[in-house]
Copies of this chain bind each other. A is one copy, B any other.
Amino acid sequence: MTVLVVGSVALDSVETPFGKADNVLGGSGTFFSASASHFAPVQLVGIVGNDFPIDRLQSAFAKRPIDLDGLEKADGPSFRWRGRYTHDLNAAETLETHLGVFSNFSPKIPEKFRRAPFVFLGNIDPRLQLSVLTQVERPKFVACDTMNFWIQSRRPDILELLKRVDVITLNDGEARQLTEQYNLVKAARWIMERGPKLVVVKKGEHGAFMFTESTVFFAPAYPLESVFDPTGAGDSFAGGFIGYLARSGELTEANLRRAVVYGSAMGSFAVEKFSIDRLLEIGPTDIARRVGEFHRLTSFEQEILT
């Protein structure tokens, strides 16, 4: 089944202890699409300025089932982000953010995208996320992401959004900020009481929890020997998670658990190189092998104590 994603398409400049990259492809929509397209067809809605190297994006995605017809070209500069990571790769230091044409983004969902059964609302203004939901037709599954900035400045809109989504993905700090509950179990319950049937709490290098009304599932982050560039890990996670669900279309507990693991696997690939480079290199065998490694990482046989 097809996945519609609405998110940013940006140019990133990143410094890590291992190197630097200038003006490489970035943004939540880009990472999500590169990841989800390993599992399902993707329809991307975003905006770029007239300085954006569209041909680079097209050629990166040439072999992937990603429809770029929803990518609006506007007059003005593209969204650019410049960031730096020190040895604690869990936290980015933002050096510059230029929203450019993204600051006037008003997502227009092309007619042919409106019946996508799976929808991912990337981290944009919750008012825009809500406007997307008025344009699509009865999606089977809607997921959204958000961030500290919107939780602080657009709280009522986020609460409105929560009523209309099936799952929200957010990091542990954001879950605590949104719910004013330090304990993540309580934070997840707080959120589920306001709409979503599922809450995915991403903890970066510390893994991810998925809460449902009656179950909790946890997948660690894969213990990589070299994390190269953490940018985009969260959106790559979301792409693997939702892409995997869209692939079979079945929202069973077993599938949801596997989806978290596929999300974690895709996040672990994303951080191995700059930008979406690693996500474009890998294939089904790499993904299956890494999912197998996740299985070995946490599996144990229970024993009855005598």
A interface vs B, CB < 8 Å? 87-89, 182-186, 203, 206-207, 209, 215-220, 223-227, 254, 257-258, 260-261, 284, 287-288, 291-292, 295-305
Q: Are B183 and A227 in contact (CB under 8 A)?
A: yes
Q: Which of B203, B225, B257, B292 contacts A183 (CB 8 A)?
A: B225
The minimal Cβ–Cβ distance linking A68 to chain B, given in whole angstroms, is 25
Given contacts A226-B183, A305-B284, contact A297 B88 (CB under 8 A): no
Copy count, this protein chain:
2
Query: Are B206 and A206 in contact, with the CB atoms below 8 A?
Result: yes
Contact B296 A300 (CB under 8 A): no
Given A88-B182, A209-B223, A227-B183, A301 contacting B254 (CB threshold 8 A): yes
Residues of chain B within 8 A (CB-CB) of A284 are 305
Most buried by B among A206, A219, A287: A206
With a cutoff of 8 Å between Cβ atoms, the chain B residues found around residue A300 in the complex are 217, 219, 254, 257-258, 260-261, 295
In angstroms, Cα B184 to Cα A89, docked, is 12
Chain B residues whose CB sits within 8 angstroms of the CB of A254 once the complex forms: 300-301
Q: Which of A209, A215, A223, A304 neighbours the largest number of chain B CB atoms within 10 Å of its CB?
A: A223
**Interfacial chain B residues near A296, Cβ < 8 Å:** 215
| Contact among B216, B223, B225, B303 with A218 in the assembled complex (CB-CB below 8 Å) | B223
Residues of B contacting A225 in the complex (Cβ-Cβ under 8 angstroms): 183, 185-186
Cβ-closest 4 pairs across A and B = A257-B300, A206-B206, A298-B298, A185-B225
Residues of B within 8 A of A301 (CB): 254, 257-258
The answer to whether B223 and A185 touch across the interface, beta carbons within 8 angstroms, is yes
Q: In angstroms, how far is the closest chain B Cβ from the Cβ of A204? A: 10
Cα A61 to Cα B153 in complex, Å, equals 55
Could you list some 27 contacts between A and B, CB below 8 A?
A87-B182, A89-B182, A183-B225, A186-B225, A206-B206, A206-B207, A207-B207, A207-B220, A215-B296, A216-B223, A216-B297, A217-B297, A217-B300, A218-B223, A218-B297, A218-B298, A219-B300, A220-B220, A254-B300, A257-B299, A257-B301, A258-B301, A261-B300, A288-B304, A288-B305, A298-B298, A299-B299
